[in-house]
């Protein structure tokens, strides 16, 4: 083991967990674990669904690489537990994580800060049966996107083409979440842009343009087929990529994100206006994942990316005297 790797101490790669994205998280975590071990890091798999987080302290782990996705991993809960345990972790802190997991809260912050995002309506799980469908269609138009407010990986997401499909879409989204996001559909190019770093040092990586079969970038096409095209360089008109990167950096910073993240964007085909959809604060690290792909285009290997993220692990809060407990 190199002195640098030894200096990182015993590392837990948190993977699996209890969210609907457990399967994807296990794939991400295994990739990260292999990459860290290949560089001499004393890294170990740790599944919070199977072991209590208190074992991290008891077993002498000195930092955590969070490869959890969705609830109980990307939503501030694990981050808060690690703050209490005094174990540095990768990615955003408690508040940024808890806001970013909620697409509606994210939109509220972005709108307040002048970040463009599609028009939306919030529907509560206990209200959708009494919803005025005609009024919602008049507000947002058709097609319309319906999705759970706090899920990822395109789980529970529906593109509603006509009003008769809306009740079924709402019912299925309600099965995933208490809050349902109904969103204006933006027709055009679908892109995503990762960010690394914190504050003034944050850097937007190359934009990736996503071309999915029939425009359907769903869970299956994200992780389990090779039919989706990922274009990097993205091939956008001159200046558009830089403008999107600047917008994504603003969106990342106003939420207080750090470490890394990835922002999904739709570009209106007619106006070329980019609209930000959501931000992921613990992005996928699978063989199909987009942050490693974009990093590779920027000259950063998968192993180097994992190393950089692990080295950036930290705590938001310290005890009196400036040291973590």
How far apart (Å, rounded) are the C-alpha atoms in residues 309 and 312? Answer: 5
Sheet containing 10-14: order of strands: 42-46, 10-14, 63-66
CATH 3.40.50.20 domain residues, the chain: 3-90
First to last CA, the chain: 27
> Which two structure tokens, joined as six digits, stand for 213?
């079969």
Looking at domain 99-116+186-308, its CATH architecture is 2-Layer Sandwich (3.30)
Nearest Cα neighbor of 205 from 284, 286, 263, 258 is 263
pTM: 0.92
Q: CA angle at residue 54 from 317 to 282, to 5 degrees?
A: 60
Distance CA(228)–CA(221), nearest Å, equals 6
The CA distance from 288 to 319, in Å, is 40
Task: Tell me 25's DSSP state.
Answer: H
Which CATH number does 3-90 carry? Answer: 3.40.50.20
Report whether CATH 3.40.470.10 matches the domain 120-184: no
Per-residue pLDDT of the chain in tens (325 residues, 90 and over written 9): 688 999 999 999 999 999 988 999 999 999 999 999 999 999 999 999 999 999 999 999 999 999 999 989 999 999 999 999 999 999 999 999 999 999 999 999 999 999 999 999 999 998 888 899 999 999 999 999 999 998 765 678 899 999 999 999 999 999 989 999 999 999 999 999 999 999 999 999 999 999 987 666 555 555 556 788 999 999 998 799 999 999 999 999 999 999 999 999 999 999 999 999 999 999 999 988 999 999 999 999 999 999 999 999 999 975 434 444 4
Catalytic machinery residues: 21, 153, 223, 262, 264, 278, 280, 284
Q: Boundaries of CATH 3.30.1490.20 in the chain?
A: 120-184
Eight-class DSSP state of 314: B
DSSP string for 189-202: EEEEEEEESSGGG-
What's the pLDDT score for residue 8?
Answer: 96
Query: Which letter does DSSP use for residue 129 in this model?
Result: G
* Residue 322 pLDDT: 43
SS3 content of the chain, % helix, strand, coil (to 5): 35, 20, 40
Residue 27 and residue 41: Cα distance in Å, rounded?
19
Three-class DSSP category at 37: helix
pLDDT of residue 237: 84
The residue whose two tokens read 């640098």 is 4
d(CA 285, CA 35): 11
Q: Rounded CA gap, 65 and 33, in Å?
A: 9
Q: How many whole angstroms separate alpha carbon 126 and alpha carbon 58? A: 42
Q: What SS3 state is found at 203?
A: strand
Domain with CATH 3.30.470.20 in the chain: 99-116+186-308
Nearest CA among 213, 209, 278 for reference residue 237: 209
Element (H, E) at 181: strand 179-184
pLDDT value of residue 190: 96
């Amino acid at each position: 083991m190199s002195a640098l790797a030894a200096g990182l101490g015993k590392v837990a790669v948190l993977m699996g967990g209890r969210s609907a994205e457990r399967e994807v998280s296990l794939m991400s975590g295994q990739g990260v674990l292999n990459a860290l071990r290949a560089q001499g890091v004393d890294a170990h798999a740790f599944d919070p669904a199977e072991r209590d987080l208190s074992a991290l302290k008891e077993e002498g782990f000195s930092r955590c690489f969070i490869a959890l996705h969705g609830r109980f991993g990307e939503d501030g809960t694990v981050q808060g537990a690690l703050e209490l345990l005094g174990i540095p972790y990768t990615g955003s802190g408690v508040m940024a994580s808890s806001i970013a997991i909620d697409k509606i809260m994210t939109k509220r912050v972005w709108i307040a800060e002048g970040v463009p995002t599609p028009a939306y309506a919030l529907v509560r799980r206990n209200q959708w049966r009494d919803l005025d469908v005609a009024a919602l269609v008049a507000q947002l138009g058709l097609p319309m996107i319906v999705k759970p407010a706090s899920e990822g990986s395109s789980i529970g997401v529906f593109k509603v083409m006509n009003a008769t499909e809306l009740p079924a879409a709402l019912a299925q989204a309600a099965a995933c979440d208490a809050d349902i996001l109904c969103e204006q559909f933006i027709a055009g190019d679908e892109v995503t842009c990762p960010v690394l770093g914190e504050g003034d040092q944050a850097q937007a990586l190359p934009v990736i343009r996503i071309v999915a079969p029939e425009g359907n970038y769903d869970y299956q096409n994200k992780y389990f087929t090779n039919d989706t095209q990922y274009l990097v360089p993205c091939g956008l008109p001159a200046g558009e990529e830089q403008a999107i990167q600047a917008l994504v950096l603003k969106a990342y910073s106003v939420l207080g994100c750090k470490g890394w993240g990835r922002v999904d964007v739709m570009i209106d085909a007619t106006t070329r206006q980019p609209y930000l959809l959501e931000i992921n604060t613990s992005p996928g690290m699978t063989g199909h994942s987009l942050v490693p792909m974009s990093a590779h285009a920027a000259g950063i290997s998968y192993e180097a990316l994992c190393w950089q993220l692990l080295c950036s692990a930290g705590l938001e809060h310290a005890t009196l005297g400036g040291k973590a407990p």
